[in-house]
């Protein structure tokens, strides 16, 4: 029975990876249509592009069996999406002004004081409640993300296991797809182009099967 379950999980992962590839193609096409023109929009769009690259890389790495690195990218992906949404929806004008001001000196220094992910999520929740609540839920996996990124216990256990649990990889891929959906939505918001809204709705409906089971009917 256990062998059959693992076999079924392997099939489900393969099917989800195939569906996720098609999803990535459509997300990429939509992002290419999002042309932001404001300072806020340009920064948010750049972060959306970074998030898309992280998510795309996760899928490719999972396809070739490099799940440890794929799981390490979860944190980068998550933070890029949250920061993109915060920039598009909530970032203060003063912060945007500082962030876009060139910094002098030989060493790289962030032009604006960093805002923590937890503060961004709280700010997003006060502005777009259901999005902030979803990010807060995903943020509960931060300890595991830290462990993979900083070569902690999770990374060691992963490396020692002959076969990493397939259901865990399925869950990571579901969350990746959910974040991709939020990335696309944030890019549309940043572009301030109402003509893109039907494309966003179509993307959500077409690829609902890629989403985590409890969020397939969610509204973005």
CB of 190 closer than 8 Å to CB of 45: yes
pLDDT tens per residue across span 37-96:
899 999 999 999 999 999 999 999 999 999 999 999 999 999 999 999 999 999 999 999
Higher pLDDT, 137 or 145: 137
End-to-end CA distance of the chain: 39
Radius of gyration of the chain from its Cα atoms, rounded to whole angstroms: 18
CB of 99 closer than 8 Å to CB of 112: yes
DSSP state of 24: H
Provide mean pLDDT across the span 151-156.
Answer: 89
Predicted TM-score of the model (pTM): 0.89
Express as a percent the part of the chain with pLDDT over 90: 74
3-state SS, residue 42: helix
DSSP state of 163: S
Both tokens of 5, joined, read: 């379950």
């Amino acid at each position: 029975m256990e062998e059959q379950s693992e076999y079924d999980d392997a099939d489900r992962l393969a099917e989800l990876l195939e569906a996720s590839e098609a999803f990535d193609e459509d997300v990429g096409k939509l992002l290419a249509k999002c042309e932001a023109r404001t300072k806020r929009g340009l920064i948010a769009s750049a972060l959306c592009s970074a998030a898309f690259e992280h998510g795309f890389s996760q899928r490719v790495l999972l396809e070739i069996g490099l799940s440890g690195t794929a799981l390490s990218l979860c944190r980068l992906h998550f933070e890029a999406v949250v920061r993109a949404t915060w920039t598009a929806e909530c970032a203060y004008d003063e912060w945007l002004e500082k962030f876009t001001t060139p910094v002098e000196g030989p060493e790289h220094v962030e032009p604006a004081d960093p805002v923590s992910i937890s503060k961004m999520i709280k700010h997003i929740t006060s502005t777009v409640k259901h999005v902030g609540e979803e990010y807060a839920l995903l943020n509960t996996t931060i300890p595991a993300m830290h462990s993979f990124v900083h070569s902690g216990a999770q990374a060691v256990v992963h490396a020692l296991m002959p076969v990493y649990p397939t259901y865990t990889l399925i869950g990571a891929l579901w969350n990746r797809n959910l974040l991709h959906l939020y990335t696309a939505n944030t890019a549309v918001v940043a572009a301030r182009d109402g003509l893109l809204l039907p494309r966003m709705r179509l993307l959500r409906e077409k690829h609902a099967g890629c989403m985590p089971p409890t969020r397939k009917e969610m509204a973005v």
